[in-house]
């Protein structure tokens, strides 16, 4: 990542967490209900008892760091975010290791990206300390909600939005930052299954100078119709091309993409400003280079991939992001082509990288790059 690494030491973490006033709920979820939710978590449907929150006022900056009861927000109908979508978010996970400790993966990278997204959306930057402190304070308060099942985790969703009630078009003078958490099970229940991808030639998710490299809800809103179009063509996900030439691969609605060739090279679209720089993407670039592969970040013509699938020189294709980690792609289709990726089964390097990354995250493999941070 093009970020300044901020290594938060455990003692420092105590100080950051202490800034948060814990206002615990007086109606916590009963133990048996929580255990039932943890036993069969469905992505993003059940949330923990609390949320982290910090408010921002133009005149006084960030104030009132707190952990409070999870619950609905009361918003004036004129609240700016509802009209002009001044909003950003992050996605991370807390992992329980075998000894019971709870860790997260490269939170400094998410914090730095959150600050870059804030800048692009004219929102106030949250410091790395407040970002990591809020997550640690929430995870400690709701530690009992961190699942221990295989490939389970506590999904963390930090977000920030314009909370000022006004209809003028200018950056809001009132902003709320929150972090909510949801226990999640294995993304692929019943084993990793390759997905099919539709390449959209009619729609784009982001253009030059736009918000493609910021993690904002608006990008997702723009991806929903093309996603529906992909499903109408019998595909699971949509892949976008660059806006200028409509010929280069960019990414999926919420995942970056990688291609493995038969000459032992691994390729991913270079960051042009309209692609979101995934933490998973940057970690995989590192792991694949460690394995001795020739790693190339460049503009990748769709045409090269389509002919490579036809002649067998493209051996593997996968997508990556925090939620699903690594997702093998088994089929690539568009208006003029429809090819399986090799035999349609998950690729060897795809699965090896997936295992290596999840082993680091769950504490089953040595963390050579110092990516893990203990939260509780």
Residues near ligand PLP (CB under 6 A): 91, 215, 219, 251, 254-256, 276, 278-281, 321-322
Phi, psi of 314 (to 5 degrees): -95, 115
Of 17 and 238, nearer to ligand PLP (C-beta) is 238
CB of residue 278 to ligand PLP, shortest distance in Å: 3
DSSP 8-state secondary structure symbol assigned to residue 144? G
CB of residue 69 to ligand PLP, shortest distance in Å: 28
Of 67 and 126, nearer to ligand PLP (C-beta) is 126
Cβ count within 10 A of residue 210? 17
Of 196 and 219, nearer to ligand PLP (C-beta) is 219
CB of residue 110 to ligand PLP, shortest distance in Å: 7
Of 91 and 171, nearer to ligand PLP (C-beta) is 91
Q: Among the residues of the chain, which ranges form H helices?
A: 10-18, 31-39, 80-84, 107-120, 128-141, 217-232, 279-290, 302-311, 348-361
CB of residue 307 to ligand PLP, shortest distance in Å: 26
H or E stretch covering 177: strand 174-184
Of 53 and 205, nearer to ligand PLP (C-beta) is 205
Per DSSP, what are the bridge partners of residue 321? 325
CB of residue 159 to ligand PLP, shortest distance in Å: 12
Of 141 and 268, nearer to ligand PLP (C-beta) is 268
**Rounded CA separation 17/52 (Å):** 11
Regarding beta strands 294-298 and 265-269, do their DSSP bridges make them parallel or antiparallel, or are they unpaired?
parallel
- Is the CB of residue 280 less than 8 Å from the CB of residue 321? yes
Of 230 and 342, nearer to ligand PLP (C-beta) is 230
CB of residue 102 to ligand PLP, shortest distance in Å: 19
CB of residue 47 to ligand PLP, shortest distance in Å: 19
Q: Which pair of structure tokens corresponds to residue 347?
A: 């690729």
Of 49 and 250, nearer to ligand PLP (C-beta) is 250
CB of residue 62 to ligand PLP, shortest distance in Å: 24
Q: How many CA atoms lie within 13 A of 67 on its CB side?
A: 23
Cβ count within 10 A of residue 165? 14
- Is the CB of residue 257 less than 8 Å from the CB of residue 249? yes
**Rounded CA separation 257/259 (Å):** 7
Q: Which pair of structure tokens corresponds to residue 255?
A: 């995942």
């Amino acid at each position: 990542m093009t970020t300044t690494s901020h290594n938060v030491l455990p003692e420092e973490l105590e100080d950051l967490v202490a800034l948060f006033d814990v206002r615990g709920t007086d109606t916590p979820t009963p133990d048996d209900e929580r255990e039932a939710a943890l036993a069969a978590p469905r992505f993003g449907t059940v949330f923990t008892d609390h949320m982290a929150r910090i408010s921002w006022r133009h005149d006084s900056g960030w104030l009132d760091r707190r952990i409070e009861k999870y619950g609905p927000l009361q918003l004036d109908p004129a609240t700016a975010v509802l009209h002009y979508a001044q909003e950003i978010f992050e996605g991370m996970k807390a992992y329980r290791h075998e000894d019971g400790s709870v860790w997260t993966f490269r939170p400094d990278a998410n914090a730095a990206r959150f600050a870059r997204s804030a800048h692009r959306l004219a929102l106030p930057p949250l410091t790395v300390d407040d970002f990591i402190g809020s997550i640690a304070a929430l995870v400690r308060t709701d530690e009992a909600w961190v699942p221990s099942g295989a490939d389970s985790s506590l999904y963390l969703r930090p977000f920030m939005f314009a909370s000022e009630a006004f209809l003028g078009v200018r950056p809001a003078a009132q902003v709320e930052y929150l972090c909510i958490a949801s226990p999640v099970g294995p993304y692929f229940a019943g084993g990793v299954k390759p997905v099919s991808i539709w390449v959209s030639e009619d729609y784009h998710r982001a253009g030059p100078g736009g918000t493609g490299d910021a993690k904002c809800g608006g990008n997702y809103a723009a991806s929903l119709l093309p996603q529906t179009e992909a499903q109408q063509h019998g595909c699971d996900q949509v892949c976008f091309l660059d806006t200028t030439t409509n010929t280069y691969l960019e990414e999926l609605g919420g995942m970056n993409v990688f291609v493995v060739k038969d000459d032992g090279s691994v390729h991913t679209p270079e960051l042009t400003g309209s692609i979101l720089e995934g933490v998973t993407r940057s970690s995989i670039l590192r792991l694949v280079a460690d394995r001795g592969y020739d790693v190339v970040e460049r503009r990748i013509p769709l045409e090269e991939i389509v002919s490579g699938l036809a002649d067998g020189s493209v051996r593997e294709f996968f997508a990556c992001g925090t939620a699903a980690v690594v997702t093998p792609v088994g089929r690539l289709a568009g208006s003029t082509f429809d090819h399986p990726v090799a035999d349609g089964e998950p690729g060897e390097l795809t699965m090896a990288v997936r295992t290596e990354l999840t082993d680091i995250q769950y504490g089953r493999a040595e963390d050579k790059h110092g990516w893990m941070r203990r939260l509780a």
